[in-house]
Amino acid sequence: MAHYLVNVDGREYEVEIEYRQEGYRLMINGESRSVQNHILGQTRRMMLIDGDAHEIDVRSHGYENRKTIFMHGKEIPVEIEDYNLAQLRKTAGMKSGKEVEKVLKAPMPGLVLEVKVAAGDRIAKGQPLIIIEAMKMENVIKAPADVVIKATPVGSGNSVEKGDPLLEFE
């Protein structure tokens, strides 16, 4: 029987999967579910969960424990971790995933052309934060993760050196 800790939108679920010839038996936080899996394509599945049909598409992110599930017209980011490893991690006081640095530092010397965010802004991963001109090229610095801006120590027109603080995250 496989045992996982699954994180969906900040909520944790303990999931046990028992593989059976006719399908799977899932225990999700102690509740039993019957599941049949029908392969439709490389990443697409038709899943019958307690008799209800759900078409899903599961995308992996390389060797990471993150997956993206497309279901009912929604994109659902999911993190899946072995249950025993998750318990060890929690006992050691560690967080799952990569820790985001609290200070974004200049990757190169240059001139700040534009600061696209302000303190208090909620920013999504990949959203442009700052534009720096270096060697006559504009470099867009993007958010490394979903973050909230705490402070903007630099402004448009400021010169920065490599390693200078550009933004602080909460």
Reduced to 3 states, what is the DSSP secondary structure of residue 14?
Answer: strand
Does 87 share its domain with 33?
yes
Report pLDDT for 98. 56
DSSP-derived 3-state class of residue 100? coil
Sign of dihedral through CA atoms 77, 151, 133, 109?
negative
- Residues 34, 49 contacting (CB under 8 angstroms): yes
Residue 46 dihedral angles phi and psi, to the nearest 5°: -110, 115
Query: Which residue range is the domain that position 85 belongs to?
Result: 2-91
Largest CA distance in the chain: 66
Handedness of CA 83, 84, 87, 89 (dihedral sign): negative
Q: Is residue 98 part of a domain?
A: no
* Whether residue 87 sits in one domain with residue 7: yes
User: In residues, how long is the chain?
Assistant: 170
Q: Are residues 16 and 56 in the same domain?
A: yes
The token pair at 11 is 């909520």
Domain assignment present for 96: no
Tens-level pLDDT at each residue, the chain (170 residues): 899 999 987 789 999 999 988 889 999 999 999 999 899 998 999 999 999 999 999 988 777 788 889 999 888 889 899 999 888 888 887 766 556 688 999 988 999 999 999 999 999 888 999 999 988 899 999 988 888 999 999 999 999 999 999 999 98
Q: What is the pLDDT of residue 36?
A: 93
Question: How does 33-52 read in b/e, with b if 16+ C-beta sit within 10 Å?
Answer: eeeeeeeeeeeebebebeee
| pLDDT recorded at residue 10 | 77
CATH number, domain containing residue 134: 2.40.50.100
Does the CA dihedral 6-7-9-11 come out positive or negative?
Answer: positive
- Please state, as a whole number, how many other Cβ atoms lie within 10 Å of the Cβ of residue 159: 12
Supply the pLDDT for residue 97: 56
Q: Domain count for the chain, please give it.
A: 2
- Helices (H) and strands (E) in the chain — how many of each? 1, 16
